[in-house]
Structure 1
Amino acid sequence: MRSSNGCWTCRLRRKKCDETYPVCAVCSALDITCHYQDEKPEWMDGGVKQDEMAECVKREVKENARHRREGGYAIHASAEPMAISQDSPSERACPVLNLLETNTVQPSPDPSSLWLQHGAGNMYSSQGAPESMTLKRSEAVLFTFYLETLFPFLFPFYRPSYLQGGRAWILEMIISRPVVRQAVLCQSVYFFSLAQGTAADCDLDWEKVLTQTGDAFGVLRQALQVIDGSGIAGHLHGAVRIMSSIMQLQRFEIAILSFHNWQNHLNAALALFRQLLDSVLELGAPSSKFEAVISHLGSSSSWSGPGDQVPSAEQAAFRFSSALVIFDDIIASTVLQSQPRLYEYHHSLLGNIEGTGKPFINLEAIVGMKNWILLQIGEISTLDAWKQHCIAAGNLDVVELVHRATAIKESLSTHLASLGTDLAHFSRERSSILDVFAPPVCQGFLVTRVWTHAALVYLSTVVSGWQPANVDVRCNVSQVIELLLKGQISPALLRTMAWPFCVAGCLAEPGQEAQFRGIVEVLQPPSFFGTIHKALEMMENTWRHRGVGGTTRDIAACFRTQDDLVLLV
């Protein structure tokens, strides 16, 4: 129901108003004038003046939307930042929408205490004339650290072509999108402190870090409520920034081994992804919807000629974040013993486009393994969910189970056999001369092999139960060990393989335990490789219960601790 006490602008537009004074959330989101007075304005006459005012507001909405999409990336600051109570969601609504829609960045405290002393909404003001400001040196150091060191460490496979803008979109988002900016600062402060060796100092309280990260998610939740209230189609760019920030902060929480909220965060990202695809094109294949969203996120810019098209920051962020959402959804399904939530999107978005041999979303370029591996892991988790449902109903058809599993195994085995040929072909092929700056491609193929062998181990447990002595299981576990020990995979790449490392390790034989421990022990400091050390902890727990009478185990059980479900991404 529309409020009868809201601002006159919302009443004129016949929109629901949250009654936040002096600027309501809806007007703040659209960056339009919020008419808030006790007396009825003279133009609210139900006649010509009201119609003229309605047209003026429509033009203001349209014009400001264009400025938001096409505007520059100047950094501005409010003269007097407004303090926002952390306990009052309504008081934080205006800053929330500034995070969503504006191209300005307001001043923030010193980054070393940014997430320790202040709430996520304290750094922004929705009032006051903007003034120019220079970026603080401490912030410049943290942003440079993130771009040059931390981001490549977190996503070592992500090396977009320099001729198509490279990772410049991340810098644009940091400078111009406060939601993303704060997500980056949150991560940079933590990891920079680890790099300095100050993580254990008493002046850094990591419980407060977690609290402020939670505050950041609170701001994002409010932003989602605004979008839900006014429709995602009018906030397409903002929705992409929110989804990107959710995935960034989720990765940060998992990196510091906080697993309490990952399901809520992933649910929010999944809902946003679906809404984004449906917002522009209601009917059609997911691939058509994906293309439509990319098109609506802004035209690509050209810096020298028609052939040099550079995607907009939101276009690049949407592609990157969509890959992470799909990847996390698939890995989460193995923990939850459920079909991936985006299962119906898989073949349309991850399968090769007819005539091109390329998919709409290339997971290999972002998370390191080819799309077919994740597709088959999604099929295995779907098979596991079907099996559990049949067992509960008392009508499991073992023949059907084996039949479906055989098709998955044959697909994985065929692709695995072709990897050697692909490596020889790929090592000779370069898309541009700038590819000489990329690292050797062979490590990426070693990673692909590790994931494939782990997927085969996972499939075996779904079909045959927990049988570490099974010939196929022993062979695949041994292959993982050999690849990790002899392949000389870099620590940064090993960090991306926490899930396959844990799957293979949980089914290791007693004589192989020392080899898995040795692989982890060299990853120092442990805080930089938290997920791998967590994987070893879960493996150790599985080994301790080896041979315990009456114990029924499966892969999902390995990812359950006393308090949490663990998502190793």
Structure 2
Amino acid sequence: MEMDLTFYEVKDISDSDSDRTLPKNLREASTVVLQSIENDAAERYSENSSMQSQRGSDCSLPSDDTHNATPIPFGRSETLAANYYIEYGIPFLYPCYRSNPIQGGKSWILDMAMNNPLLRQVIVCQGSYFFGLIGSWADNNALYETAVTQMSQGATILTQGPDVFISTGIQDRLPEAVHTMTAIMQMQRFSAATQRFSKCQSYLDIARTIFKAVLGTATYGLENPRSSFEAVIDRLGPGSHIVPSQIFPVSSPDQAGFRFSTILLIFDDIIASTVRNEKPTLYEYIPSILGHKDDPYPPIDFSGVVGCRNWVLVQIAEISMLKAWKYQCKRAGIIDHEERVRRVTEIRKALELYLYDLKKEVKTIKSGEDMMPEIFITETLQTISIQTSLITQVWCHAALLYLSLVAEDDGPSGIPKQVHVGNIIALLYLEISPKTRIRTMAWPFYVAGCLSQPERRWSMRETVAMLQPLNAFGTIQLAFDIMESVWQNGGAKPNASEDDLSDWFTNTDNVTALLV
């Protein structure tokens, strides 16, 4: 069916006899879009009985390989909503995301959506949500509830868990598994960014399980996670070439989607570990897949999605490992002080050296050869490189703060800690641009804020004041609310466990304030 456009009605100021299509009521419009999306999908899916039967019991495509499946084109209303997702949803949810135009840009999202009903539903429902928010950020609960309800329709995996999906055999359904993992991470990010945190942990659990199962299809297993990851990437190919020249190789949509979703999943897994006395759940995969500091070609590049380079996140994972080891030693009543000092010193020296290199890098970055003419890009490669270095510095300072807490070097007001707090505040307030990128730095923002001294807190408030409307930065707002509570408590933590960041949380679900 065609989308009902009767809610569009406004006179053209240059010609009183002609009508133009502009919305009278954006919230009414978004509701119509959602209803039209549902009707569009129902009509087209009913044309394919096999797919319709699958949708009744599963969240994904039929079991045959999606490379050979016939893509279902978008209807008119779905095209509108998908466009809003690409144009407004992606920058909102992933402000540091830089899709490589030579690698096909964001086309992988639309391609995957045409091959997977759950991902399609997620994208068009989120797109209609952002469509409805263009007019106002106030009172968006109804929009959110409508979008989430429709995103979850028919998604058995959300109610019965990933075992239902995996038990049918993932070896021959690899693209389908990747599509589903991508859809789940999109839902997780949307829920966190819109301050609906209750389901975020369950989304992460499902995505972790699928990720492990996908890598488990490779013969290398945990003995060589990097080789397993690369083997899966190969199986998700081949890519294509830009026509007519056929000279630029382009990753397949499944390859691009799997890399993107893996970055989000591992990133969240690492940061979530900082508020637990456990190692990151995916730790066995992290060092191998993310690579070492000087690794020229890691399988995935975090800086292109979350702004921070891989190596700093590996060190945060190592600090969480150290904290988990220390916690187990305390429980056993045996603490190896020499081993603790050795590990703390090794991590600290590595981070401090890397931070020194980052500061030099900003001063020496020179404009390189652009990938394409500057008229097609919003930032030069030089600006992108500088901002990546600055964002990574923020994370490096936060990692050193986290290490100091775990090592129990001194109290929150100690000089070493306050140096890092001051640097984080200065970078966020003065250097990071545009300020929307702060959305990806809720964890450093939170750590620095909780440890900041009174004379520095005005800068934190000023930084938050630049993020308007604040309810569009849900995780930053929640982190700031927690910081304000800590400040009102005189900077003291609720209990005496100095190294446990979770002591600053009033609700364990709020860990998601650090993730986006």
Q: TM-score, normalised by structure 2?
A: 0.81
1:233 maps to a residue whose letter is: Q
Match of 1:229 among 151, 167, 190: 167
- Following superposition, the deviation at residue 193 of structure 1 comes to 2.3
Alpha-carbon separation, structure 1, partners of 2:58 and 2:280: 36
- 2:390 aligns with 446
Contact map agreement 1:180 1:245 (CA 8 A) in 2: yes
- 1:246 aligns with 184
2:316 maps to a residue whose letter is: I
1:14-47: CA deviation from partner (whole Å, max 9, x where unpaired): xxxxxxxxxxxxxxxxxxxxxxxxxxxxxxxxxx
Q: TM-score, normalised by structure 1?
A: 0.74
1:40-69: CA deviation from partner (whole Å, max 9, x where unpaired): xxxxxxxxxxxxxxxxxxxxxxxxxxxxxx
Alpha-carbon separation, structure 1, partners of 2:391 and 2:156: 36
Alpha-carbon separation, structure 2, partners of 1:213 and 1:403: 49
1:280 maps to a residue whose letter is: A
Match of 1:309 among 241, 246, 249: 249
1:204-245: CA deviation from partner (whole Å, max 9, x where unpaired): 364455555555654456684454222110110000001101
Is 2:57 the partner of 1:93? Answer: yes
Alpha-carbon separation, structure 2, partners of 1:258 and 1:549: 25
Contact map agreement 1:269 1:325 (CA 8 A) in 2: yes
- 1:166 aligns with 105
- 1:502 aligns with 446
Contact map agreement 2:54 2:60 (CA 8 A) in 1: no
Contact map agreement 1:559 1:565 (CA 8 A) in 2: no
- 1:350 aligns with 290
- 1:341 aligns with 281
Contact map agreement 1:353 1:360 (CA 8 A) in 2: no
2:205 maps to a residue whose letter is: N
Contact map agreement 1:495 1:531 (CA 8 A) in 2: yes
1:311 maps to a residue whose letter is: S
- 1:368 aligns with 307
Unaligned runs of 5+ in 2: 1-40
Q: Assess, with a 3 A threshold, how the Cα gap between structure 1 residues 163 and 395 changes in structure 2: closer, same or farther.
A: same
- 1:197 aligns with 136
Alpha-carbon separation, structure 2, partners of 1:537 and 1:217: 34
- 2:35 aligns with none
Alpha-carbon separation, structure 2, partners of 1:353 and 1:404: 18
Alpha-carbon separation, structure 1, partners of 2:348 and 2:491: 27
- 1:564 aligns with 509
- 2:206 aligns with 268
Contact map agreement 1:250 1:265 (CA 8 A) in 2: yes
Match of 1:256 among 186, 191, 194: 194
Contact map agreement 1:334 1:381 (CA 8 A) in 2: yes
| Structure ranking higher on relative contact order (CA contacts 8 Å, 6+ apart) | 2
Contact map agreement 2:56 2:154 (CA 8 A) in 1: no
- Following superposition, the deviation at residue 273 of structure 1 comes to 1.2
1:517-548: CA deviation from partner (whole Å, max 9, x where unpaired): 22112211222101111110111122223366
Identity of aligned residues (%): 37
Contact map agreement 1:542 1:558 (CA 8 A) in 2: no
Count matched residues. Answer: 462
Match of 2:416 among 472, 497, 507: 472
Contact map agreement 1:145 1:188 (CA 8 A) in 2: yes
Contact map agreement 2:302 2:308 (CA 8 A) in 1: yes
Contact map agreement 2:55 2:154 (CA 8 A) in 1: no
- 2:369 aligns with 430
Contact map agreement 1:302 1:310 (CA 8 A) in 2: yes
Aligned residue for 2:349, secondary structure, equals helix
1:438-479: CA deviation from partner (whole Å, max 9, x where unpaired): 522222222111111111111111111671211110101011
Contact map agreement 1:232 1:275 (CA 8 A) in 2: yes
Q: Assess, with a 3 A threshold, how the Cα gap between structure 1 residues 566 and 413 changes in structure 2: closer, same or farther.
A: same
Is 2:424 the partner of 1:484? Answer: no
Q: Assess, with a 3 A threshold, how the Cα gap between structure 1 residues 79 and 229 changes in structure 2: closer, same or farther.
A: closer
- 1:325 aligns with 265
- Following superposition, the deviation at residue 504 of structure 1 comes to 0.6
- 1:410 aligns with 349
- 1:463 aligns with 407
- Following superposition, the deviation at residue 191 of structure 1 comes to 2.8
Aligned residue for 1:564, secondary structure, equals helix
1:267-299: CA deviation from partner (whole Å, max 9, x where unpaired): 221121111112132445111111111111121
- Following superposition, the deviation at residue 134 of structure 1 comes to 6.6
- 1:292 aligns with 231
Contact map agreement 2:119 2:183 (CA 8 A) in 1: yes
Alpha-carbon separation, structure 1, partners of 2:188 and 2:493: 38
Alpha-carbon separation, structure 1, partners of 2:48 and 2:232: 35
Alpha-carbon separation, structure 2, partners of 1:206 and 1:294: 34
> Over the residues paired in the alignment, what is the CA RMSD in angstroms?
3.2
- Following superposition, the deviation at residue 491 of structure 1 comes to 2.3
Contact map agreement 1:285 1:348 (CA 8 A) in 2: yes
Aligned residue for 1:428, secondary structure, equals coil
- 2:83 aligns with 144
2:464 maps to a residue whose letter is: V
Alpha-carbon separation, structure 1, partners of 2:435 and 2:65: 38
Contact map agreement 1:217 1:246 (CA 8 A) in 2: no
Alpha-carbon separation, structure 2, partners of 1:409 and 1:183: 42
Q: Assess, with a 3 A threshold, how the Cα gap between structure 1 residues 77 and 332 changes in structure 2: closer, same or farther.
A: same
1:171 maps to a residue whose letter is: L
Q: Assess, with a 3 A threshold, how the Cα gap between structure 1 residues 254 and 387 changes in structure 2: closer, same or farther.
A: same
1:95-125: CA deviation from partner (whole Å, max 9, x where unpaired): 654599765677xxxxxxxxxxxxxxxxxxx
Alpha-carbon separation, structure 2, partners of 1:233 and 1:434: 42
Q: Assess, with a 3 A threshold, how the Cα gap between structure 1 residues 195 and 459 changes in structure 2: closer, same or farther.
A: same
Contact map agreement 1:76 1:105 (CA 8 A) in 2: no
Aligned residue for 2:134, secondary structure, equals helix
Alpha-carbon separation, structure 2, partners of 1:473 and 1:201: 39
Contact map agreement 1:364 1:370 (CA 8 A) in 2: yes
Alpha-carbon separation, structure 1, partners of 2:184 and 2:418: 39
Contact map agreement 2:59 2:156 (CA 8 A) in 1: no
- 1:517 aligns with 461
